[in-house]
Amino acid sequence: MNTSKQPPLWLLTLLIMFPQLVETIYSPALPSIAHSFQVGSERASQTLSVYFVAFAAGVAVWGWMSDCIGRRLSMMAGLLCYGAGSAMAIIATDFSVLLLARMVSAMGAAAGSVVVQTILRDSYESTALARIFSIMGAALAVSPVFGLASGGLLVSLYGHTGVFTALISLAVVLLALTAVVLPETRQENTPSPHFSGLVSRMVRDKALRKNTMLVALLNTMLFSYYSLAPFLFGQLGWSNRAFGWTGGILALASLLGSLLNWKLLATGLSQEQLVRHACALALLSGVAACWLQHSAWILVPVAGVVVAYGIAIPNVLSQALSHYREQAGAAGALFGLSYYLLLGLMLGVAGMVQQLGLVLTVCALIAWLYSLLGETRFRRA
């Protein structure tokens, strides 16, 4: 563990919450956007898939920049980029302009994912890193509460423009905190990124390819809820504000998953076993969601998916790049680029399907099958 320039965990938690928080705030605004821009629910949902394709590009940019100019400056530049995209969204009068604004925002928000993960990999190793990711996961549990509830309230009071105004304000606050509090954690001897050799090495890494698919599939299950559920609950007669409070259930499920992961790591179960069990839980939950597709009770199996996510993701992320510490930023950029491109593609398909239970079941089945593949680089806790 690197203790020379230890960054404050509270700030890293806020920054890593940022991408998920801004998406959960945005989710209740989808019906308002569909109405304001006179587009169908399928096309409105596509703003999420476009967002994550651009997010993937942002992960590559900021991950590479974090090795070149440092973690702190890269984080600040990303927050500036996000604020600019949100400002563009406020003045957008055409749906195509809104899509462009969402892409600019996504580029900036990506820094909150890849740069923070790089800082954590600078500062912690192995099981300690898995436990830190669990702590982060527990903190992330509150983001759906704040995101969906505040998003629903803002939409009911001010429409989607109120959501984008709040997002600009959030970016400004985080930018100020980063400038004042966040230290630089990049080691002075960090080599300049050489992508050709690194790409070749990572492409040949079977364990890394498996981990990439697992992260993409698990995130597709989570974010398909945010893109499809607003319309599902709208058909059930729920208001934007009422839908927003479903984030409380997801928050409890996320907190439970993170705490379970922390406890199970202490029992001696391997990280690989935990991922496999979590994928099995997600599969059972997805099948149940298919049966409850047109009922508010679908929240119960969705909560099971979120519990599985809270167990699996910290173990996948903590070990995925354990052999690439010498170029953590560049490797994180390529890793994130891969799984976010897959995530954008999968969410695009989910938006066309518009069947939440089916999406959850198919993604969970594929993730479970991947979790059964050969030996990986997971280590025993």
256-296 pLDDT per residue, tens: 888 888 888 888 888 888 999 999 999 999 999 888 888 88
3-state SS, residue 204:
coil
Confidence of residue 305 (pLDDT cuts 50, 70, 90): very high
Q: What is the pLDDT of residues 170-200, one digit of tens each?
A: 899 999 999 999 988 887 665 555 666 778 8
Q: Which amino acid is at 126?
A: S
This prediction's pTM: 0.68
Of 237, 296, 222, which is closest to residue 31 (Cα–Cα)? 237
Of 370, 260, 261, which is closest to residue 318 (Cα–Cα)? 261
Direct distance between the N- and C-terminal alpha carbons of the chain, in angstroms, rounded to an integer = 16
d(C-alpha 335, C-alpha 114), whole Å: 9
User: Taking the CB of residue 1, how many other CB atoms lie within 10 A of it?
Assistant: 11
pLDDT surpasses 60 at 1 = no
Q: Which domains does the chain have, with CATH numbers?
A: 9-181+206-371 (1.20.1250.20)
| Cβ-contact 108, 84 below 8 angstroms | yes
Q: Which amino acid is at 17?
A: M
State the residue for tokens 């199996």: 301
Residues 6 or more apart whose CB falls under 8 angstroms from that of 186 comprise: 66, 67, 70, 71, 122, 329
Q: Which amino acid is at 121?
A: R
In this predicted structure, which of 102-111, 122-131, 190-199, 327-336 has the lowest mean pLDDT? 190-199
Dihedral angle computed from the Cα positions of residues 206, 207, 213 and 216, in that order, rounded to the nearest 10 degrees: -140
- Report the pLDDT value the prediction gives residue 378, as an integer from 0 to 100: 42
- Report the pLDDT value the prediction gives residue 75, as an integer from 0 to 100: 94
